[in-house]
């Protein structure tokens, strides 16, 4: 019985349950959506129709939500014995997770005819972390609704519940904003893209696109039906060249900025000393928060060289006016300003950890990624800072498996070094997919699968055993074959250090697709 993430407790019993058209279904009204999801999935994959009945006593399969105090929030219990299958949950999300487990138990996604069966069993399961996330950069390369929905489906199957969309960066702005139309006519397109073919140059092809408001609404709804929250990110004050190309008056230099073709870090930032910048960004935040109802909002804050601010009269004047002693503190001032604006709308704000200083508002969630600051981050967590964990050498899925092996992702223990009293400050774990070198879905799914499965076990808090996990990956590969999704078929194989170093070297110097080509 292959369920990923592996449940907390599984007891196999004698006998088996047969899933056929005699299996009548009962559920309490509040669970109907998830149970319909289950019934639809069975019908689509196997042709078997399960009929609903009005009374629990008449049902073979039943879902109830007594909401007892002794169940954790998203816990579920599956008791399958004597020809009956009962599911008990406290919340609708718990019911959705039970349904995902049932789909795996009956191996519905690998259906090859006949009657699906599963072993009689007792399963008790719940997530350790409430924030089980995947990040997707749609700025460097744009992925539209069809691909994002495929990702949402995969996330749902692994009981992940947050999709963090990196909507804007130096190379593109990927969502419709009505108040500032130049954002979509200028910021959403670039006139060339850096290539890595041994010489590193840019082509001159116009590239871009953006999600319309109708598409965002469709995605938010699709994700919501699968108990996934879409968290938007507007990265600032750096990684914002695309926006400044359309509205250069909000930069320190005022003119001559184009949507960036190259990767790396730009020196151009929002001007912190220009008072007009603040309402401009707030107006954009208004539209973004209207589109994305999530309780969370990500404000970026990473990788901001202060060269432009140092050379800008307005920024220097702002520093003096506020009596700040560094440009890092000026960044904190700006970040806190927008975070406060968002908190006024009921949002919990996240920021990348390298943008944090001692004065970053205590309610801001630290999104830890930069591994050299690990000790500092753990200390902050122990002192009360809430955090989401994406350590670079484990959770950055844009890098080759030769550099970031599956086993390393799988083995991540988010609370290592965190004191018992502070463990609750870790909200969860997030895998990131930056897309400078991911141009198409073949590479996207190759880099993501099977890492997404490993991420799900770190975030769900499974008692991990790599050998056992590897077996489950082999069964998942059959599912992905059936769905025509690319994956790294060698991710679980051992590779010599020599071979890995060679691949990493080729990746950085010559061919970002080296591993994909060798699959």
- The Cα 227–Cα 152 span in angstroms is 10
One of 26, 338, 369, 507 touching ligand ACM (CB under 6 A): 369
Tally Cβ neighbours within 10 Å of residue 298.
25
Residue with Cβ nearer Zn ion (90 or 315): 315
Shortest Cβ distance from residue 512 to ligand ACM (Å)?
A: 16
Residue with Cβ nearer Zn ion (192 or 273): 273
Considering only 189-197, 314-322, 341-349, 350-358, which stretch makes contact with Zn ion by CB under 5 A? 314-322
Q: Is 399 in the site for ligand ACM (CB under 6 A)?
A: no
Q: Is 368 in the site for ligand ACM (CB under 6 A)?
A: no
Helix 441-448 × helix 145-157 angle, to 10°:
20
Tally Cβ neighbours within 10 Å of residue 483.
13
Whose tokens are 């082999």? That residue is 474
Full strand arrangement of the beta sheet holding 25-27: 9-18, 117-125, 76-81, 84-89, 61-64, 25-27
- The Cα 14–Cα 479 span in angstroms is 27
Helix 145-157 × helix 213-225 angle, to 10°:
10
357 contacts 351 by C-beta, under 8 angstroms: no
Residue with Cβ nearer ligand ACM (369 or 507): 369
Shortest Cβ distance from residue 225 to ligand ACM (Å)?
A: 29
Q: Is 315 in the site for Zn ion (CB under 5 A)?
A: yes
Residue with Cβ nearer Zn ion (9 or 307): 307
Shortest Cβ distance from residue 390 to ligand ACM (Å)?
A: 8
Q: Is 250 in the site for ligand ACM (CB under 6 A)?
A: no
Shortest Cβ distance from residue 352 to ligand ACM (Å)?
A: 4
Q: State the pairing for strand pair 168-169/172-173.
A: antiparallel
Residue with Cβ nearer ligand ACM (39 or 444): 444
Q: Which entry of Zn ion, ligand ACM, none binds 315, CB below 5 to 8 A by partner kind? A: Zn ion
Chain positions 240 to 279 lying near Zn ion, rule: CB under 5 A, are: 252, 271, 273
369 contacts 353 by C-beta, under 8 angstroms: yes
At 268 the three-state DSSP class reads coil
At 431 the three-state DSSP class reads strand
Q: Is 312 in the site for Zn ion (CB under 5 A)?
A: yes
The alpha helices in 5-158, defined as continuous H runs, are 32-46, 92-105, 145-157
14 contacts 120 by C-beta, under 8 angstroms: yes
Shortest Cβ distance from residue 303 to ligand ACM (Å)?
A: 5
Q: Is 352 in the site for ligand ACM (CB under 6 A)?
A: yes
Q: Is 17 in the site for ligand ACM (CB under 6 A)?
A: no
CA 89 to chain centre: 25
Question: How many residues bind to Zn ion according to rule CB under 5 A?
Answer: 6
Chain positions 129 to 158 lying near ligand ACM, rule: CB under 6 A, are: none
Q: What would the two tokens of residue 439 be?
A: 């141009």
Q: Is 374 in the site for ligand ACM (CB under 6 A)?
A: no
Q: Is 356 in the site for ligand ACM (CB under 6 A)?
A: no
Q: Is 303 in the site for ligand ACM (CB under 6 A)?
A: yes
- The Cα 200–Cα 511 span in angstroms is 10
One of 153, 225, 287, 302 touching ligand ACM (CB under 6 A): 302
Q: Is 335 in the site for ligand ACM (CB under 6 A)?
A: no
Binding positions for ligand ACM, rule: CB under 6 A: 302-303, 352, 369
């Amino acid at each position: 019985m292959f369920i990923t993430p592996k449940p907390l407790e599984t007891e196999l019993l004698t006998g088996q349950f047969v899933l056929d058209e005699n299996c009548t279904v009962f559920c309490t009204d509040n669970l109907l959506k998830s149970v319909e999801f289950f019934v639809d999935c069975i019908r689509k994959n196997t042709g078997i129709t399960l009929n609903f009945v009005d009374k629990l006593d008449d049902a073979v399969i039943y879902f109830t939500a007594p909401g007892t105090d002794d169940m954790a929030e998203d816990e579920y219990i599956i008791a399958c014995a004597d020809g009956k299958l009962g599911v008990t949950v406290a919340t609708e999300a718990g019911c959705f997770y039970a349904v995902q487990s049932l789909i795996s138990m009956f191996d519905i996604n690998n259906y090859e005819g006949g009657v699906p069966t599963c072993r009689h069993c007792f399963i008790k399961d719940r997530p350790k972390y409430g924030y089980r996330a995947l990040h997707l950069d749609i700025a460097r390369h744009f992925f539209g609704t069809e691909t994002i929905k495929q990702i949402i489906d995969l996330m749902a199957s692994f009981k992940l519940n947050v999709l963090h969309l990196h909507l804007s960066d130096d190379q593109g702005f990927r969502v419709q904003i009505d108040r500032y139309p130049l954002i979509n006519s200028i910021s959403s397109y670039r006139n060339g893209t850096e290539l890595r073919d041994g010489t590193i140059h840019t082509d001159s092809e116009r590239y871009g696109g953006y999600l319309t408001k109708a598409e965002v609404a469709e995605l938010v709804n699709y994700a919501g039906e699968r108990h996934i929250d879409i968290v938007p990110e507007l990265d600032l004050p750096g990684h914002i060249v695309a926006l400044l190309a359309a509205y250069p008056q909000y930069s320190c230099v005022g003119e001559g900025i184009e949507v960036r073709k190259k990767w790396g870090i730009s020196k151009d930032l929002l001007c912190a000393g220009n008072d007009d910048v603040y309402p401009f960004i707030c107006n954009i935040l208004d539209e973004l928060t209207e589109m994305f109802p999530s309780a969370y909002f990500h404000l970026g804050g990473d990788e901001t060289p202060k060269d432009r601010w140092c050379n800008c009269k307005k920024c220097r004047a702002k520093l003096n006016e506020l009596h700040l002693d560094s440009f890092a503190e000026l960044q904190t001032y700006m970040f806190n300003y927008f975070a406060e604006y968002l908190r006024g709308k009921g949002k919990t704000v996240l920021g990348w950890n390298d943008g944090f200083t001692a004065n970053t508002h205590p309610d801001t969630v630290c999104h830890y990624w930069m591994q050299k600051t690990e000790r500092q981050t753990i200390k902050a967590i122990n002192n009360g800072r809430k955090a989401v964990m994406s350590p670079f050498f484990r959770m950055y899925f844009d890098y080759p498996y030769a550099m970031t092996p599956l086993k390393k992702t799988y083995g991540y223990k988010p609370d290592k070094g965190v004191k018992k009293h502070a463990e609750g400050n870790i909200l969860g774990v997030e895998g990131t997919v930056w897309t400078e070198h991911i141009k198409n879905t073949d590479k996207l799914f190759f880099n993501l699968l099977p890492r997404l499965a490993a991420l799900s076990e770190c975030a769900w808090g499974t008692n991990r055993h790599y050998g056992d996990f590897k077996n489950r990956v082999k069964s998942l590969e059959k599912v992905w074959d059936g769905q025509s999704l690319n994956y790294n078929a060698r991710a679980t194989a051992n590779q010599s250090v020599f071979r890995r170093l060679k691949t990493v070297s080729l990746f950085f110097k010559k061919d970002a697709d080296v591993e994909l080509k060798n699959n």
